[in-house]
Amino acid sequence: MNQRTTLRTGTPAAPNTMRGLRLDARGLLVPWNVHWTMGVPDYGVIDPSKVLKAVNEKRCWICGEPLRRFKTFQLNVMAAIERVSPQPPSHRDCAEYSATVLKQHRGVTMLWTTTDHMPFAIGLTMLFRMHDPVTASWYCDGQPATRAEVLDAISSASNLLIRDAEKQGAQAVLDLGRRAGQLLMLAPGD
Ligand SMILES: [Zn+2]
């Protein structure tokens, strides 16, 4: 497949650090973490070598350039309640571009910006426990999310997580309620 060499008409300009990324056939920038097969980006496959490189060299998950002091995680609501991300952090402006232009995540997504986080592994899977957010912003299908959309997403995710928590016992249920309550405090206003 021929790769485009110019951005799709009407696509907003990307942050400077993303300008070295290759384009896909639609004329959209392909995040650094995406695996390429035979010259074609495979959006369903994360390049495992990039996870290690991002962690070891403290690189942005989206553009691959060195991170700065503030790190932003792009999360679905369940991950935000758990305070654990399945993906390494990015520059905030790269994460905003990913959420609003590349739209790789459907439904409600949260950008959780923090100064610190802790990588850990479960088996061969690397996960990232986030420290408290310095700022939070919310999007739904590429647009700023409304308060109602965010509250609905938190409620749905809590209803799914409560089943596991109930199996673990009363303390787990209490912890889940506390974390969901903390996330509600970060929901956008009306
Ligand atoms: Zn970046």
Taking only the tens place, the pLDDT of each residue in 99-121 is: 999 987 789 999 999 999 999 99
Phi, psi of 82 (to 5 degrees): -75, -20
* Alpha carbon separation from 178 to 23, 32, 171, 172 (Å, rounded): 42, 35, 11, 10
The alpha carbon of 129 and the centre of ligand 1 are apart by a number of angstroms equal to 20
pLDDT tens for each residue of 6-28: 888 888 889 999 999 999 998 99
Rounded-to-integer distance, Cα 175 and Cα 168, Å: 11
Model's pTM, two decimal places? 0.91
* Ion ligand 1: protein residues whose beta carbon lies under 5 Å: 17, 60, 62-63, 91, 94
